[in-house]
Amino acid sequence: MILVALIAVLFVGGLACWLSERFNPSLPRVIALLTVLLDFALMFSLLDAEGTSTWVAVFEAPWISRFGISFYLAADGLSVLLLMLTAFLGAVAIGAAWDEVQERSGFFYFNLLWTLAGVVGVFTALDLFLFFFFWEVMLIPMYLIIAIWGHENKNYAAMKFFIFTQVTGMMMLVSILVLAYFHYLQLGSLSFNYHDLLNVSLTGEMGMWVMLGFFISFSTKLPSMPFHSWLPDAHSQAPTAGSVILAGVLLKTGAYGLIRFAVPLFPEASMAFAPVAMTLAAVSILYCAKVAFAQDDIKRLIAYTSVSHMGFVTLGIYAWNEQALQGAVMTMLAHGLSAAALFMLAGGLQHRIHTRNMPDMGGFWPKVPKMTAVAIFFSVAALGMPGLGNFIGEFLALIGAFQANVTLTIVAAFGLILASVYSLWVLQKVFQGEYNNRGFDDSHLTDLSRREMFYFAAMMIGLVWMGLYPQIFLSMSEPVLAQLLSESAQTMVTSLEGGL
């Protein structure tokens, strides 16, 4: 029941935020923060839970029995890590919106909490129809967050986000229905249960097409080249809290989908497609790092760097060995913190000076020394400084990928060099050099408040913890990844024996 409670708390808290606005406009943000902190506290019970196999919590109840659909939720070490990241960054997002969102605040926090509820559902659903339901639950509230509380070109950005996600989501739904249909043909019953669908044998051209439905949907959310173009627009136009959730949480649902569903359900097709996927990952790393240099909008620049770094996740997943997968998971966690922090910094700067245009900035260090120190830390983290979580993730991903494809790994490694260059370039443009306040009123250019410093300090501690003591996180995900590797290998052997 704990998994049901995690989702229900967020749904109910969202409704309470919406209704409380009529009594006090400041009440919704307090309710939202308490709701997320309660959810975060409940998640700690999963760390001590003892379940069967790798699953630490399971809940299953009939839903639409006629079509083999059940309300099936389960959590293992991988799910728990991502659930805790979701709750943690949910609290950070509320902190980012604390002073920024004044208009219709109740409805804003309603959408924020329902987005988080959808994410929690995605990370725990093991019925594929239920998984798709939660996948869609994430979409509408985030669309509204961008469309209502976004910036000057918010309608375009929100619609682009909606179209990209909705169209590719429909492709995944078709693939899910085809998979369930083949379960009916091969095993005599309709089922959307993840464990049942692992027994479906889909090989050859049909297997490849059905797998691509999953891959395109997850790669669009990740995002990866060439499905990435919605992200810079969404990030640049979203309010700060929206950018924090997008970068820190929603992108991770795409990576999670690849690890949990796309490869294990179609191991043969996925391994045949792996060279293409790894090539797309390497291109994403280099191309988006290069495009970042052409940006004057600081949020668009961070968005492109985010796509570049998530390329290491795709690279690690399709190398499909334990080191590479561990690297992918660590990169997901570390990138969630570093990218969320950078977007929170950029959003806080925009809230103060009402511009995202870097040529109008410069020499801010003496004015905002605490903000500068925080920016240096997270920029250095993003470029992969040893001792921080991002380094562990990208290092493991590259080591694992090297075992699978030497050439593409070498190409992708150049992304680390480009990351160093653009990170230092942004610091120089914004915080160093001669003071520049062209195009904005600097009377509101104030340093970070105690509340903001608290959130940034929490994310700093998280990255240092991951960098210096990664074994805690690696130990939680290791049994899950080992089982996924074993199941996919067994499925491939069974398929080959069936072919013979």
**Taking a C-beta distance cutoff of 8 angstroms, is the pair 253, 122 a contact?**
yes
Q: What was the pLDDT predicted at 420?
A: 82
Q: And the tokens for 260?
A: 């949990």
Q: Which amino acid does the sequence have at 262? A: A
> What is the pLDDT at residue 499?
47
DSSP 3-state assignment of 61? Answer: strand
Which is nearest to 258 in space by CA: 196, 315, 193, 322?
315
Q: What pLDDT, on the 0 to 100 scale, is given for residue 90? A: 93
Helix locations, 52-188, DSSP H = 77-97, 105-124, 128-149, 154-187
pLDDT at 236: 84
* pLDDT given for residue 497 in this prediction: 53
Q: What is the pLDDT of residue 116?
A: 94
Structure tokens at 179: 């998979």
At a CB cut-off of 8 Å and minimum separation 6, what does 348 contact?
Answer: 96, 240, 371, 448, 452
Cβ–Cβ < 8 Å for 412, 315? yes
Residues whose CB is less than 8 angstroms from the CB of residue 475 and which lie 6 or more positions away in sequence, other chains included:
77
Q: Which two tokens stand for residue 258?
A: 């690849």
List all residues 6 or more positions away from 497 whose beta carbon is below 8 Å from its beta carbon. Answer: none
Taking phi over 0 as left and psi of -120 to 50 as alpha, with beta for the rest, 485 belongs to: alpha
Distance CA 148, CA 237 (A): 10
Helix boundaries (H) for 368-405: 369-382, 389-404
Query: Which residue type, as a one-letter code, is found at position 300?
Result: R
The residue among 286, 223, 231, 284 whose CA lies nearest residue 421 is 286
Mean pLDDT by 10 residues, the chain (500 residues): 91 92 86 93 81 76 88 91 93 88 87 94 93 91 90 87 90 92 87 88 85 92 84 86 89 91 89 91 89 84 88 90 91 91 88 82 84 90 87 91 89 85 84 75 78 91 92 88 80 54
> Could you tell me which residues are beta bridge partners of residue 71?
61
73 beta partners: 59, 125
Domain range list for the chain: 2-499
